[in-house]
Chains A and B, each alone.
Chain A
């Protein structure tokens, strides 16, 4: 058994705890520790990616308690690629925060590490209850990061987020209780083994548990009608925090992608394909509404928030097809949209900071200081996020369209996808011209651009370009991930052992 699997959880935990104690050493020391700990996550994620690239499942039983009784962490292709994305976005966001955001309130770096602990744990966990626990860890860190620097606008937005997520947690526990009551297990692999055996007498209970769970994941992923909290909250957060939050909605999507094909897939007997009827319609509504939100936004940061809703919609269209092609498109699009949304949040924060008059509002004011650099960054980000060729948004959208092409209702899916894409192109074009072209006077003197902030954005955009430059490798990885997701038997065998059905199990009560 390799201990590599638990390191992405353990490292932020240790670093975060150290950072709590390191506060007296000063901001520079904390920044260095935080950066070092985040930097190490990158080679770790790459190493894990390399280990699972051949289709292996790395199973780590904590304390060597055999599954399904103990707690397991499982790394497969999907988990590894999510870890890598998290590490990349976290690094860029932390470098960006180093330009001053991190000293606006206490313990920024410790909270950042705890946030990473929650995210990495949620990607690696192999059972439903620990998914809940890691969700709570990442949520409580995200509340604190959202409030970082305070101010009335942030407190107002944070109350909504906290109350909504507490209701979400309560529903999550109702779902967990229902599923446990029916199946007697919470381990994903064990659930996948037992759920198909459920009789028609308990199947309605299992179905309601599964759909309740879907509601919770949809709330985390900001799927409409449960996603109206997101734009306001993300626009209120500092830029670096909002960039990291670009990963948080993907945790919700990841959970859907992890649980539904595995446990409630087409082979799940009475409960088979329970989510199929719900995900696609919700995704299309989210997509359309997200695009309208982008168009209606009056500041760049609010529009970036709606852009997240829009990209979650696109992503869930791919997931909602529940086909191999759909999963492949979803994996590629996740990588693209996480990096691109993070870059957009950083760019809009930088614009708001540089534009002394007007901030990031779409108003005609003095020309932007350092307009060429900022304009170029905004242009590349906008091209990516609007899905125009030649960058990764285009490839991602193409994969989604291709996957939807053979599905029933393809006409509707294609029209909504393309119509929403048009709205987004109009919106980003309007935003760009309002911010950079339609100016009243010559550029006023703004604060100097600092290298860290620009470097962080350039780094994220370089990853986006890399997704296209090595597009062949990226799509073939996405396809092999999709094959793994579409065939859950490998996951079950890796976690429970090949003789799972013969295993003696505690069932005396039932």
Chain B
């Protein structure tokens, strides 16, 4: 399972970076979103993957998943969502102000 998750994170990061290197704001935005998915998955598994166990803890249970990464990932999701929303608004504003969706402003 570790290999599967690692490949998923790698594919998400790779596609995210590729899209972020485009010159239009919309692909860049999608790239950032994919990258933030990758980050969230990565943070989540930094507490290790545990199969067939209680989600947090249970009485008498010796091995339970680490709750801290779950809290971290929640915070990261919220912040990432807010930032993405801001960037969407900014990109729309840039289209109306500069007349194009090129990341350097205007139509190239």
21 residue pairs bridging A and B, Cβ less than 8 Å apart: A136-B79, A140-B82, A152-B98, A155-B98, A155-B105, A156-B98, A156-B104, A159-B87, A159-B91, A159-B94, A159-B103, A162-B86, A162-B87, A166-B36, A167-B32, A170-B38, A173-B43, A177-B39, A177-B43, A180-B46, A184-B66
- Chain A contact patch, size range: 20 to 34
- With contacts A140-B82, A140-B83, A159-B25 taken as known, whether A173 is within 8 angstroms of B42 at the C-beta atoms is yes
Partner of B75, one of A133, A160, A180: A133
Spell out B's residues near A (CB within 8 Å): 20, 25, 28, 32, 35-36, 38-40, 42-43, 45-48, 50, 62-63, 66, 68-69, 72, 75-76, 79-80, 82-84, 86-87, 90-91, 93-94, 97-98, 103-105
B76→A158 contact, CB < 8 A: no
Residues of A within 8 A of B45 (CB): 181
Is A260 in contact with chain B by the CB < 8 A criterion?
A: no
Candidate in B72, B82, B84 with the most chain A CB atoms within 10 angstroms: B72
B107 to chain A, nearest CB (A): 13
Q: Is the CB of B75 within 8 A of A163?
A: no
The interface residues of chain A lying within 8 Å CB-to-CB of B72 are 129, 176-177, 180
- The answer to whether A509 has its CB under 8 Å from any CB of chain B is yes
A437 within 8 A of B: no
Knowing A140-B82, A163-B20, say if A174 contacts B39 (CB, 8 Å): yes
Give Cα A143–Cα B84 distance, bound, in whole angstroms.
13
Closest 9 CB pairs of A and B: A156-B105, A181-B46, A177-B46, A177-B43, A173-B39, A152-B97, A155-B94, A152-B98, A170-B39
CB distance from B69 to the nearest CB of A (A): 7
Chain A: which residue is nearest B69 at the CB level? A180
Interface string of A183-195 (1 = CB under 8 A from B): 0101000000000
A177 touches B97 (CB 8 A): no
- The answer to whether B35 touches A170 (Cβ under 8 A) is yes
Contact A169 B83 (CB under 8 A): yes
Q: Are A173 and B76 in contact (CB under 8 A)?
A: yes
A150 to chain B, nearest CB (A): 7
Chain B positions within 8 Å of A186 at CB level: 68
Residues of B within 8 A of A147 (CB): 90
What A residues does B93 contact at CB under 8 A? 150, 155
The CA of A133 and the CA of B82, in the complex, are separated in Å by 13
B46 pairs with A155, CB closer than 8 A: no
What CA separation (Å) do A158 and B86 show in the bound complex?
11
Point out the residues of chain B lying under 8 angstroms from A136, CB to CB.
79, 83
Who on chain B is nearest to A136 by CB? Answer: B79
- CB of B46 to closest CB in A, whole Å: 4
For residue A157, which residue of chain B has the nearest CB?
B105
Contacts of B104 on A, CB cut-off 8 Å? 156
Cβ A180 vs Cβ B48 within 8 A: no
Judge if A103 is at the interface, Cβ distance under 8 Å: no
| A residues near B79, Cβ cutoff 8 Å | 133, 136, 169
Contact partner of B63 (CB less than 8 A), chosen from A162, A181, A508, is A508
A480 within 8 Å of B by Cβ? no
Contacts of A152 in B (CB 8 A): 97-98, 105
Nearest B residue (CB) for A151:
B97
Neighbouring A residues of B66 by C-beta, 8 Å: 184, 509
Contact B97–A150 (Cβ < 8 Å): yes
Q: Does A178 contact B (CB under 8 A)?
A: yes
Contacts of A159 in B (CB 8 A): 25, 87, 90-91, 94, 103, 105
Q: Are A174 and B42 neighbours in the complex by a CB distance under 8 Å? A: yes
A158-B32 contact in complex given A169-B79, A177-B43, C-beta closer than 8 Å: no
Q: Could you tell me the distance between the alpha carbons of A140 and B79 in the complex, rounded to whole angstroms? A: 10
When distances are taken between beta carbons in the complex, the residues of chain B under 8 Å from A129 are: 72, 75
Which chain B residue lies CB-closest to A135?
B79
B43 surroundings in chain A (CB, below 8 A) = 173, 176-177, 180
Write the nearest CB–CB distance from A418 to chain B, whole angstroms: 36
Residue in chain A with minimal CB distance to B105 = A156
Complex Cα–Cα for A119 and B32 (A): 25
